[in-house]
């Protein structure tokens, strides 16, 4: 099965090391990802869509019109997935919107019928869990993982059509399959607060502070995320919160693909762990995980 | 004093008729993480109430409650017993705020970046070098001309960008 790969903006242009582990995992599983030329910003469902819905629809439909309809298109970013699924949702439920968008696309010689299937990379990993099992060389013993599903991986469920919007299971099952423990914590289903950074920095920090507190209280030793906005929110703000509140947050944040790559036997240096602000080396040593 | 603006009310209803299903039960606000943190200063139920009443001056001019404080977590939409499409309605309100130049600056910066380059985060030289070092392929992004043609067609350039220069 081959998928077109929609990278979006944040991962390739700011966090390329997350792209490294994601590509490696898919290659190891024998799932082909095809790079496609000419994509723009998805556009951001927490940015451009809020400025002008019609522009968001038109640019999103243009991106989808470039896909070749192999197994559909996948993305490593929950925001991109929400946008691309959302564009399909609006185009398929509203004939006027579809006509309007295609009137715009015609100006650049393109058209889009609303038929390209969109999947989150974690969905594809879940659908290939048997293959994942076969590739595990080093079960992640000692990893006490606080899973952060994030909002846009699940909701709005009518658009996303994947997992339960309030009691999801897919990431828990993947993490357990890798040999790690999924730690239950208060506020597990809360938003990380990243989108609020654009309008109210303090509020955004308060949201992530509350989550981190709950994660520490539950005794987790790392966090796993499946969205680059959540990743930045968790990883980039710990130091600032410590300065502000005299807290001592220092918990490694992993992308799901990074955890999986570790269990497949990839080395930290192959995965660009040196680019993490909170280095996972201390964790590996403390739990005796031999990398 | 707030004044009912019927044109505004009708415009919201025309875009999303689910607005009229709301019976103000407050389930949305009960599940809203931002309402909790702000002690109800941000309040999705109230935004919907003001939209039903057509209080454009409250929603767009004084922004009370401030619609930009929605974290887009989409919990309210899932919880609503009447299937009111709250976040779609909030998007419409924010789109209208944008037309009237009432928005946090970061949104404009993102729109401008996409208009100028096709992407929200343009590729710096150091990122291009880092990608190469990490063994990642070169990215060929959208033709800016195509993106700008579309953004002119949707009036993004005219309504959104021009007003800010």
Instruction: Render pLDDT for A255-270 as a digit per residue (tens, 0 to 9).
Output: 999 999 999 999 999 9
Q: Please provide the distance, in angstroms rounded to a whole number, between the alpha carbons at the two ends of chain B.
A: 33
Q: Distance between CA atoms of A152 and A159, rounded to whole angstroms?
A: 10
Instruction: Render pLDDT for B74-107 as a digit per residue (tens, 0 to 9).
Output: 999 999 999 999 999 999 999 999 988 899 999 9
At residue A71 the predicted structure's pLDDT band, cuts being 50, 70 and 90, is: confident
Instruction: Render pLDDT for B42-65 as a digit per residue (tens, 0 to 9).
Output: 999 999 999 999 999 999 999 999
Residue A258, C-beta contacts closer than 8 angstroms, at least 6 positions apart:
A18, A21, A271, A273
Q: Which residues 8-37 of B have a C-beta within 8 angstroms of A?
A: 33-34, 37
Quote the pLDDT of residue B142: 97
Query: Is the torsion defined by CA of B90, A209, A250, A218 positive or negative?
Result: negative
Cβ A43 vs Cβ A33: under 8 Å: no
Instruction: Measure CB to CB from residue A108 to each of B92, B98, B146 and give the nearest one.
Output: B146
Q: Distance between CA atoms of B144 and B165, rounded to whole angstroms?
A: 20
Structure tokens at A101: 């968008």
Q: Distance (Å) from the C-alpha of residue A15 to the closest C-alpha of chain B?
A: 9
CB contact under 8 A, B141 and A58: no
Quote the pLDDT of residue B164: 57
What architecture (CATH level 2) is domain A2-121? Answer: Up-down Bundle (1.20)
At residue B163 the predicted structure's pLDDT band, cuts being 50, 70 and 90, is: low
Q: Give the mutation candidate from B47, B74, B164 for the A interface (greatest A CB count, under 10 A).
A: B74
Mean pLDDT of A270-274: 95
Residue A134, C-beta contacts closer than 8 angstroms, at least 6 positions apart:
none
Quote the pLDDT of residue B61: 93
Q: For B6-99, which CATH superfamily applies?
A: Alpha-helical ferredoxin (1.10.1060.10)
Instruction: Render pLDDT for A122-147 as a digit per residue (tens, 0 to 9).
Output: 999 999 999 999 999 999 999 999 99
CB contact under 8 A, A55 and B156: yes
Q: Give the mutation candidate from A55, A62, A257 for the B interface (greatest B CB count, under 10 A).
A: A55
Quote the pLDDT of residue A68: 83
Instruction: Measure CB to CB from residue A200 to each of B69, B78, B120 and give the nearest one.
Output: B69
Instruction: Measure CB to CB from residue B149 to each of A108, A191, A206 and give the nearest one.
Output: A108
Structural domain spans, chain A:
2-121, 137-286
Q: Does B61 touch chain A (CB under 8 A)?
A: no
Instruction: Measure CB to CB from residue A40 to each of B118, B134, B160 and give the nearest one.
Output: B118
Mean pLDDT of B114-141: 97
Which residues on A lie below 8 Å from B37 (Cβ)? 203, 206-207
The residue of chain A with its CA nearest to that of B73 is A151
pTM comes to 0.97
Which residues on B lie below 8 Å from A37 (Cβ)? 140
Structural domain spans, chain B:
6-99, 105-164
Mean pLDDT across chain B, nearest whole number?
94
Q: How far is CA A241 from CA A82, A207, A231, A255, in A?
A: 29, 11, 16, 21
Quote the pLDDT of residue B159: 77
Quote the pLDDT of residue A106: 98
The residue of chain B with its CA nearest to that of A149 is B73
Q: Does B115 touch chain A (CB under 8 A)?
A: no
Q: Distance between CA atoms of B25 and B46, rounded to whole angstroms?
A: 11
Instruction: Measure CB to CB from residue A157 to each of B37, B78, B95 and give the nearest one.
Output: B78
Tell me which CATH code domain A137-286 carries. 3.40.50.11810
Quote the pLDDT of residue A43: 98
Cβ A26 vs Cβ A262: under 8 Å: no
Quote the pLDDT of residue B2: 81
CB contact under 8 A, A54 and B107: no
The residue of chain A with its CA nearest to that of B156 is A55
Structure tokens at B66: 């401030």
Q: Please give the full DSSP string across A85-121, using - where no structure is assigned.
A: HHHHHHHHH-HHHHHHHHHHHHTTT----S---EEEH
Percentage of the residues of chain B whose pLDDT score is greater than 90: 88
**pLDDT over 70 (residue B28):** yes
Q: Does A97 touch chain B (CB under 8 A)?
A: no
Which residues on A lie below 8 Å from B124 (Cβ)? 13
Place of tokens 């490294």: A20
Q: Which residues 123-142 of B have a C-beta within 8 angstroms of A?
A: 123-124, 127, 130-131, 134-137, 139-142
Instruction: Render pLDDT for A195-219 as a digit per residue (tens, 0 to 9).
Output: 999 999 999 999 999 999 999 999 9
Please state the ipTM of this predicted complex.
0.96
CB contact under 8 A, B104 and A199: yes
Quote the pLDDT of residue B165: 55
Which residues on A lie below 8 Å from B137 (Cβ)? 35
């Amino acid at each position: 099965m081959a998928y077109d790969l929609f990278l979006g903006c944040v991962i390739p242009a700011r966090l390329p090391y997350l792209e490294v582990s994601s590509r490696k995992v898919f290659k190891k599983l024998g799932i082909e990802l095809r790079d496609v030329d000419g994509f723009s910003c998805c556009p951001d469902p927490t940015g451009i869509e809020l400025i002008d819905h019609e522009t968001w629809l038109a640019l999103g439909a243009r991106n989808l019109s470039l896909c070749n309809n192999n197994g559909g298109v996948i993305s490593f970013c929950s925001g991109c997935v929400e946008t691309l699924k959302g564009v399909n949702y609006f185009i398929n439920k509203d004939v006027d919107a579809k006509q309007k968008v295609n009137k715009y696309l015609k100006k650049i010689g393109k058209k889009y019928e609303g038929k390209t299937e969109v999947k989150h990379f974690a969905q594809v990993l879940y659908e290939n869990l048997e293959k994942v099992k076969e590739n595990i060389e080093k079960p992640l013993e000692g990893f006490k993982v606080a899973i952060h599903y994030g909002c846009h991986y699940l909701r709005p469920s009518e658009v996303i059509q994947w997992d339960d919007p309030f009691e999801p299971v897919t990431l828990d099952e993947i993490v357990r399959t890798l040999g790690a423990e999924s730690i239950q914590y208060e506020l597990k289903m809360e938003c990380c607060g990243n989108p609020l950074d654009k309008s109210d920095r303090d509020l955004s920090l308060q949201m992530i502070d509350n989550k981190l507190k709950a994660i520490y209280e539950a005794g987790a030793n790392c966090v796993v995320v499946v969205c680059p906005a959540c990743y930045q929110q968790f990883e980039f703000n710990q130091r600032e919160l410590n300065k502000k509140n005299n807290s001592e947050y220092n918990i490694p944040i992993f992308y799901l693909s990074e955890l999986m790559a570790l269990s497949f036997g990839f080395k930290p240096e192959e995965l660009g762990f040196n680019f993490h602000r909170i280095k996972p080396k201390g964790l590996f040593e403390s739990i005796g995980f031999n990398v | 004093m707030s004044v009912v603006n019927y044109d505004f009310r009708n415009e919201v209803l025309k875009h999303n008729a689910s607005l009229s299903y709301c019976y103000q039960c407050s389930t949305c606000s009960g599940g809203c993480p931002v309402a909790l943190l702000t002690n109800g200063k941000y309040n999705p139920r109230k935004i919907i109430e003001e939209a039903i009443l057509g209080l454009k001056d409250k929603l767009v001019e004084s922004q009370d409650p401030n619609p930009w404080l929605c974290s887009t977590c989409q919990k309210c939409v899932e919880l609503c017993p009447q299937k009111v499409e709250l976040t779609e309605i909030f998007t419409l309100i924010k789109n209208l705020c944008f037309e009237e130049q009432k928005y946090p600056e970061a949104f404009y910066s993102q729109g401008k970046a996409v208009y100028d380059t096709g992407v929200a985060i343009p590729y710096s030289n150091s990122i291009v070098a880092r990608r190469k070092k990490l063994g990642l392929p070169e990215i060929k992004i959208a033709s800016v001309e195509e993106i700008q043609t579309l953004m002119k067609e949707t009036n993004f350039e005219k309504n959104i960008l021009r007003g800010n220069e």
